[in-house]
């Protein structure tokens, strides 16, 4: 977070020195041939069906087909069960998420079983992965504090489990978690990851700016995630923010699966809602 | 075998012939030009012959020189430098008077570093620049920058457009040892590297060693930048300064006790924050206006010189500089500051004309800190390094053929790495993290500049370095050697070898050099870096005004340090686990044609400057980066050309032009893309670029011309000039970075936007930038 903020500030200084916007123009470069890879993103969310999106990566200057592909064989295994997921087009209305493989089976609240995934494509590409579902971490009730102008800041807290490495993802929303009307403003306020290296076993506190008024509804969702997924999210962020950032050293995407790109992970997020008094 | 024996005998015969040359004594007296007083302890030196001495208490000197035409240089602290060319056919007498320090004498210093000296010097892979020279060369925003001028020398590259970082013979910016009057400076840049921290009014000269390092230097792998600060005028109160586009500067020189004690103080500050604050006030009611952050930097130099006795001199130098950046928007207040402090106290004592002792203590501090107030929370993130050091040096000239330098040095380092502190008004948050380390660096060396004969001179040395800290210790032997053989009085060949160890490492949070880079000590996991460099070359005088030199080099670097991909740099109390280690190597050829100003008044005589060409390759290899395959570092530059031309058009006017051309930087670009469907509500499907090989692409080639003009006003009260600099005179749009942009189209009647392809865009930084600076001196 600090690094990105710093980069923005550096860019503004450099831009200021250049007396205006930085000039740009289109150029041509040659890029080497690229072999497409399967991209598998499967988030096992307790209480929701097993489901995933299978796509493939595409070279920049290839014909731009749709990356979402059909014809793969997807099997999720656990406790001796091998569940072959049917192909289709599936929507999750909460967040308008799209999947092309989904099971009728629901992900159980089983935090000790090892789950595995196999995605085979007729041309021989084969992606595999394994993961356990991370147990949830409870949020403390959110609180609000007010400045002299009666604007509110919201505090979100949770207690870290001591003696183990924990990784978290926290998302904050205003009003509702998702508004399907595209004309309305995005309700998401914050979304970031953090780990407990600096406070093992301590109470974590995240606060907002004094941007809210009495009557506003603030919703917090805390995801207790595993380290491979934490690495994957951050490598995606780094890759995305490296494009157009002269100070970045781009890195590869750190997948949690082998044989392709992607993630196989599981969690149960916890949620707390505060109506600012 | 027979051939080897003949070669050996031939060498012995050559050596005997060389040493059998007849020598004569040059003696005389050195006096103060104004008072006529004899000057004790003045230096008398024949650079081309590696012979020198100090004057005794009565100002007398005596040196042995071969029968030849020889340049003899006379120097005295606080005075200018006098150069005399003498032809010795018998024992001779030469009395010399030296003036007080003045601009005219500064000019002489440049000329004193003659082409003949360079031809005959044993030292290779070195470049010397005076501030007078740098002031004649056009500069970005008119800010004279002696470090950026070094970038115009072969084998030295900048990190990017307008930046002052140095990349020397394949080494990184952390592998340069910056010394200001022998005190190290860890981050020698202002404004994220756009300007160096060295105020031109305070600097006397700078010497850059790219290889063949003398044994007195150690601690960094790739270069030594030895910056000398000016001493104050011993005779009269004087000053100089200037008003430029982005900063103003002033220096004052004060003879506290005439001929005994002088002081020089110099300061510089930028003032664009003054204008941006006013602009922010004017536009504060405009809801669409984004306030411009506050930014300024300043630096300050002071040097006290005390001639305690004819044999003793004490100097105390101080440097301080800081950058301050602030962005305040309601309950978000962001401050970033970084800066260096450095101080030196040194005492030199001449026991006699052959033995000189120097003792010095130095202090250096570099730190940066983000200070962030966010609503009711406060965060502070900081890092720094602090050194206390002491060293002694003994200079001994037992005979005219030997110049022995030996010494010991000790440095105590203290590191603060990634210190993070967070707190809240209600104390619900209060924690800190980060690491503190200490370490002790040791050095002992001996070096002999040995004149083996008229044609052969050798500079051999050995440095023993060591590190004690982090529950471990390391020691290293660093042999240094260079030799010069004169094929004729116009041509010499040279060779050098040097090993260096680096015990303190900079770990970069980005691909560029930024103030947030941290210094980190050697320990059990991070072991000392090591480099070995060999170089060979030939120098050739072409007439009296041109020197052509060609050097080839190969450098190996072990135990290079980098962060692994996705390393957790902040909020991490165990950074050791985030490093990866590898090796680097580089090789190249540097061709350099230098032209000195001639005595005549023709256009060619008035021309000075140089043309440099470097052909080089640089590589890095880490098991955990780029799948273990070797790759070019970002600053790898296959071809590099620099042209610097300065034409003196009389007392009033000089014009200059520089042109640089370089292969584009090696960069990492994505070659494919994928979609990512994030599970958190509100996050759209994202297009993620996929990077594969590190630095496998090239930016477009870089070229730029700068032009400048210095117009001397010649007032009665002193000196004054108007300096015009035009940066990027033909407004070349050089690439600052490249990025991929999406091409989309909206389906008619639906409002749905679809992706149709990608295009690559190049972003440039500086167009043509003219600037005017007014300089004065009294």
Segment B723-745, tens digit of pLDDT = 999 999 999 999 988 999 888 88
Exposed, middle or buried by CB within 10 Å (0-12, 13-18, 19+), for B663?
middle
Give all strands of the β-sheet with B753-764 in edge-to-edge order: A24-27, B753-764, B735-746
Mean pLDDT of chain A: 88
Residue B138, strand partner residues: none
Average pLDDT in the B232-251 region? 90
Q: In the prediction, which pLDDT does B510 show? A: 57
Q: In the prediction, which pLDDT does A3 show? A: 40
Q: How many of the other CB atoms lie within 10 Å of CB of B188?
A: 24
Cβ of A243 and B740 within 8 Å? yes
Query: Would you say residue A126 has pLDDT above 80?
Result: yes
Query: Would you say residue B536 has pLDDT above 90?
Result: yes
> Strand (E) positions, B397-429?
402-424
Beta-carbon-side half-sphere exposure of residue B231 (alpha carbons within 13 Å) = 22
Question: B687 versus B420: which is more confidently predicted?
Answer: B687
Among candidates B682, B683, B760 on the partner chain, residue whose Cβ is nearest the Cβ of A29: B760
Q: Which residues of A touch B669 (CB under 8 A)?
A: 29, 31
Which region holds residue B24: left if phi is over 0, alpha if psi is between -120 and 50, else beta?
Answer: beta
Structure tokens at A11: 């860019």
Do B585 and B560 touch, CB atoms closer than 8 A? no
Q: In the prediction, which pLDDT does B568 show? A: 75
Query: Would you say residue A20 has pLDDT above 70?
Result: no
> Confidence class of residue B24 from pLDDT cuts 50, 70 and 90?
confident
Q: What percent of chain B has pLDDT over 70?
A: 93
Residues 66-85 of B with CB under 8 A from A: none
> Strand (E) positions, B310-376?
312-329, 332-352, 355-374
Cα of B326 to nearest chain A Cα, Å: 10
Distance, CA of B132 to CA of B467 (rounded, Å): 39
Contacts for B645 with CB less than 8 Å, ≥ 6 apart: B607, B608, B609, B656, B657, B658
Give the pTM.
0.84
Among candidates A169, A243, A249 on the partner chain, residue whose Cβ is nearest the Cβ of B689: A243
Cα of A96 to nearest chain B Cα, Å: 8
Mean pLDDT of chain B: 86
Q: In the prediction, which pLDDT does B16 show? A: 34
Cβ of A95 and B682 within 8 Å? yes
Query: Would you say residue B582 has pLDDT above 90?
Result: yes
Cβ of B671 and A31 within 8 Å? yes
Least reliable range by pLDDT among A100-109, B112-121, B285-294: B112-121
- Would you call B429 an interface residue with chain A, using a CB distance cutoff of 8 Å? yes
Structure tokens at B348: 């030199």
Among candidates B568, B572, B681 on the partner chain, residue whose Cβ is nearest the Cβ of A94: B681
Average pLDDT in the B9-35 region? 58
Cβ of B570 and A247 within 8 Å? no
Backbone angles phi, psi at B621, to 5 degrees: -145, 125
Interface test with B, best of A243, A257, A263, A270 (most B CBs within 10 A): A243
Cα of B343 to nearest chain A Cα, Å: 30
Cα of B685 to nearest chain A Cα, Å: 8
Q: In the prediction, which pLDDT does B78 show? A: 64
Query: Would you say residue B491 has pLDDT above 90?
Result: yes
Average pLDDT in the B639-646 region? 95
pLDDT in tens, A24-54: 889 888 889 999 999 999 999 999 999 999 9
Q: What percent of chain B has pLDDT over 90?
A: 46
Question: A206 versus B162: which is more confidently predicted?
Answer: A206
Run of H or E including B97: strand B96-98
Among candidates A9, A94, A208 on the partner chain, residue whose Cβ is nearest the Cβ of B325: A9
Q: In the prediction, which pLDDT does B183 show? A: 93
Structure tokens at B171: 């080494």
Question: B431 versus B231: which is more confidently predicted?
Answer: B231
> Confidence class of residue B643 from pLDDT cuts 50, 70 and 90?
very high
> Confidence class of residue A223 from pLDDT cuts 50, 70 and 90?
very high
Q: In the prediction, which pLDDT does B372 show? A: 84
Exposed, middle or buried by CB within 10 Å (0-12, 13-18, 19+), for B731?
middle
Backbone angles phi, psi at B432, to 5 degrees: -145, 160
> Confidence class of residue B515 from pLDDT cuts 50, 70 and 90?
low
Do B695 and B666 touch, CB atoms closer than 8 A? yes
Do B192 and B119 touch, CB atoms closer than 8 A? no
Query: Would you say residue B107 has pLDDT above 50?
Result: no
> Confidence class of residue B297 from pLDDT cuts 50, 70 and 90?
very high
Query: Would you say residue B374 has pLDDT above 80?
Result: no
Query: Would you say residue B20 has pLDDT above 50?
Result: no
Among candidates B336, B676, B765 on the partner chain, residue whose Cβ is nearest the Cβ of A22: B765
Interface test with A, best of B191, B566, B702, B757 (most A CBs within 10 A): B566
Query: Would you say residue A1 has pLDDT above 50?
Result: no
Q: Coil, helix or strand for B726?
A: strand
pLDDT in tens, B77-92: 667 778 787 777 777 8
Cβ of B765 and A186 within 8 Å? no
Q: List the single residue in A with minimal CA-CA distance to B681.
A: A95
Do B612 and B574 touch, CB atoms closer than 8 A? no
Average pLDDT in the B570-586 region? 87
Query: Would you say residue B364 has pLDDT above 90?
Result: yes
pLDDT in tens, B697-716: 999 999 999 999 999 998 88
Question: B374 versus B151: which is more confidently predicted?
Answer: B151
Structure tokens at B440: 């002790």
Cβ of A198 and B571 within 8 Å? yes
Average pLDDT in the B335-363 region? 92
Q: How many of the other CB atoms lie within 10 Å of CB of B773?
A: 24
Query: Would you say residue B538 has pLDDT above 80?
Result: yes
Query: Would you say residue B17 has pLDDT above 50?
Result: no
Average pLDDT in the A74-94 region? 92
pLDDT in tens, A164-196: 999 999 999 998 887 777 677 778 888 989 888
Cβ of B433 and A197 within 8 Å? yes
Residue B733, strand partner residues: none
Average pLDDT in the B521-534 region? 95
Run of H or E including A51: strand A49-56
Do A146 and A166 touch, CB atoms closer than 8 A? no
> Confidence class of residue B381 from pLDDT cuts 50, 70 and 90?
confident
Q: List the single residue in A with minimal CA-CA distance to B427.
A: A205
Interface test with A, best of B291, B672, B684, B743 (most A CBs within 10 A): B672
> Confidence class of residue B144 from pLDDT cuts 50, 70 and 90?
confident
> Which of A111-115, A206-210, B26-30, B89-93 holds the top average pLDDT?
A111-115
Do B699 and B665 touch, CB atoms closer than 8 A? yes
Run of H or E including A44: strand A38-45
Cβ of B565 and A235 within 8 Å? yes
Q: In the prediction, which pLDDT does B15 show? A: 35
pLDDT in tens, B603-616: 899 999 999 999 99
Q: In the prediction, which pLDDT does B9 show? A: 34
Q: In the prediction, which pLDDT does B109 show? A: 32
Q: In the prediction, which pLDDT does A2 show? A: 37
């Amino acid at each position: 977070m600090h690094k990105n903020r710093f980069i923005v500030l550096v860019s503004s200084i450099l831009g200021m020195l250049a007396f205006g916007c930085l000039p740009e123009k289109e150029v041509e470069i040659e890029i080497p041939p690229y072999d497409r890879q399967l991209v598998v993103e499967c988030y096992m969310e307790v209480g929701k069906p097993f489901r995933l999106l299978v796509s493939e990566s595409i070279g920049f200057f290839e014909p731009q087909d749709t990356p979402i592909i059909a014809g793969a064989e997807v099997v999720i295994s656990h406790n001796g069960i091998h569940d072959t997921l049917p192909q289709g087009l599936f929507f999750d209305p909460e967040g308008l998420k799209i999947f092309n493989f989904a099971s009728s089976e629901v992900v159980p609240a089983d935090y000790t079983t090892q789950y595995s995934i196999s995605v085979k494509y007729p041309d021989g590409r084969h992606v595999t992965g394994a993961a356990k579902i991370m147990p949830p971490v409870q949020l403390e009730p959110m609180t609000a504090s007010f400045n002299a102008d009666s604007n509110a800041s919201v505090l979100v807290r949770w207690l870290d489990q001591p003696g183990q490495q924990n990784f978290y993802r926290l998302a904050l929303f205003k009003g509702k978690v998702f508004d399907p009307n595209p004309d309305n403003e995005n309700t998401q306020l914050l979304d970031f990851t953090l780990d407990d290296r600096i406070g093992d076993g301590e109470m974590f506190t995240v606060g907002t700016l004094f941007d809210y008024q009495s009557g506003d509804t603030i919703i917090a969702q805390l995801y207790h995630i595993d380290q491979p997924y934490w690495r994957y999210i951050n490598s995606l962020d780094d890759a995305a923010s490296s494009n157009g950032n002269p100070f970045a050293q781009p890195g590869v995407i750190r997948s949690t699966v082998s044989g392709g790109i992607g993630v196989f992970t599981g969690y149960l997020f916890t949620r707390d809602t505060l109506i600012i008094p | 075998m027979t051939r080897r024996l003949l070669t050996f005998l031939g060498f012995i015969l050559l050596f005997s012939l060389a040493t059998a040359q007849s020598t004569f004594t040059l003696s005389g007296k050195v006096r103060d030009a104004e008072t006529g007083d004899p000057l004790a302890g003045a230096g008398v030196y024949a650079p081309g012959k590696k012979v020198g001495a100090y004057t005794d208490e009565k100002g007398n000197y005596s040196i042995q020189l071969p029968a030849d035409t020889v340049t003899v240089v006379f120097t005295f602290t606080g005075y200018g430098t006098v150069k005399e060319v003498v032809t010795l056919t018998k024992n001779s007498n030469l009395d010399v008077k030296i003036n007080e320090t003045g601009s005219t004498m500064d000019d002489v210093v440049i000329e004193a570093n003659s082409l003949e000296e360079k031809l005959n010097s044993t030292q290779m892979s070195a470049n010397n620049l005076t501030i007078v020279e740098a002031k004649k060369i056009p500069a970005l925003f008119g800010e004279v920058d002696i470090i950026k001028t070094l970038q115009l020398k072969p084998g030295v590259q900048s990190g990017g457009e307008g930046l002052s970082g140095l990349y020397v013979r394949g080494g990184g910016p952390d592998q340069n040892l910056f010394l200001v009057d022998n005190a190290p400076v860890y981050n020698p840049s202002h404004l994220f590297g756009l300007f160096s921290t060295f105020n031109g009014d305070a600097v006397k000269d700078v010497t850059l060693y790219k290889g063949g390092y003398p044994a007195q230097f150690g601690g960094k792998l790739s270069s030594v930048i030895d910056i000398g600060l000016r001493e104050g005028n011993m005779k009269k109160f004087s000053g100089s300064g200037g008003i430029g586009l982005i900063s103003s500067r002033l220096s004052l020189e004060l003879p506290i006790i005439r001929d005994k004690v002088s002081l020089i103080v110099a300061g510089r500050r930028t003032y664009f924050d003054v204008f941006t604050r006013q602009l922010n006030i004017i536009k504060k009611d405009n809801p669409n206006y984004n306030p411009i952050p506050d930014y300024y930097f300043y630096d300050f130099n002071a040097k006290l010189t005390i001639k305690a006795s004819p044999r003793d001199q004490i100097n105390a130098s101080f440097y301080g500089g800081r950058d301050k950046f602030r962005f305040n928007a309601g309950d978000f207040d962001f401050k970033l500051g970084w800066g260096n402090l450095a101080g030196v106290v040194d005492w030199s004592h001449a026991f006699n004309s052959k033995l000189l002792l120097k003792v010095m203590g130095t202090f250096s501090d570099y730190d940066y800190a983000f200070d962030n107030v966010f609503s009711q929370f406060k965060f502070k993130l900081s890092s720094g390094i602090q050194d206390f050091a002491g060293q002694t040096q003994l200079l001994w000239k037992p005979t005219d053929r030997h110049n022995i330098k030996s010494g010991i040095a000790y440095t105590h380092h203290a590191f603060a790495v990634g210190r993070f502190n967070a707190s809240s008004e209600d104390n619900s948050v209060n924690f800190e993290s980060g690491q503190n380390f200490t370490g002790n660096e040791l050095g002992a060396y001996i070096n002999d500049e040995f004149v083996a004969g008229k044609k052969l001179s050798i500079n051999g040395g050995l440095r023993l370095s060591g590190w004690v800290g982090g529950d471990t210790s390391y020691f290293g032997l660093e042999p240094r050697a260079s030799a010069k053989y004169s094929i004729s009085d116009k041509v010499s060949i040279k060779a050098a070898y040097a090993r260096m160890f680096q015990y303190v490492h900079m770990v970069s949070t980005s691909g560029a050099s930024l103030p947030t880079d941290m210094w980190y000590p050697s320990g059990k996991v991070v072991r000392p870096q090591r480099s070995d460099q060999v170089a060979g070359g030939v120098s050739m005088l072409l007439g009296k005004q041109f020197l052509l030199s060609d050097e080839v080099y190969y450098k190996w670097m072990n135990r290079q340090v980098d962060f692994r991909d996705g390393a957790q740099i902040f909020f991490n109390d165990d950074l050791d686990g985030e490093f990866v280690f590898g090796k680097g190597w580089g090789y190249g050829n540097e061709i350099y044609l230098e032209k000195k100003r001639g005595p005549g008044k023709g256009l060619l005589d008035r021309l000075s400057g140089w043309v440099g060409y470097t052909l080089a390759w640089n590589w890095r290899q880490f098991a955990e980066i780029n799948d273990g395959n070797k790759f070019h570092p970002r600053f790898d530059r296959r071809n590099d050309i620099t042209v610097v031309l300065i034409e003196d058009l009389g007392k009033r006017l000089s014009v200059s032009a520089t042109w640089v051309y370089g292969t584009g930087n090696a960069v990492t670009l994505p070659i494919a893309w994928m979609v990512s469907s994030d599970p958190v509500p509100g996050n759209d499907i994202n297009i993620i670029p996929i990077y594969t090989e590190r630095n496998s692409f090239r930016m477009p080639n870089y070229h730029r011309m700068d032009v400048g003009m210095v117009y001397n006003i010649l007032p009665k009260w002193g000196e004054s000039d108007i300096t015009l600099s035009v940066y990027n005179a033909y407004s070349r749009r050089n690439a600052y970075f490249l990025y991929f942009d999406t091409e989309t189209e909206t389906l008619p009647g639906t409002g749905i936007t679809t992706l149709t392809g990608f295009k690559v865009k190049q972003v440039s930084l500086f167009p043509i930038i003219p600037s005017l600076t007014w300089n004065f001196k009294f």
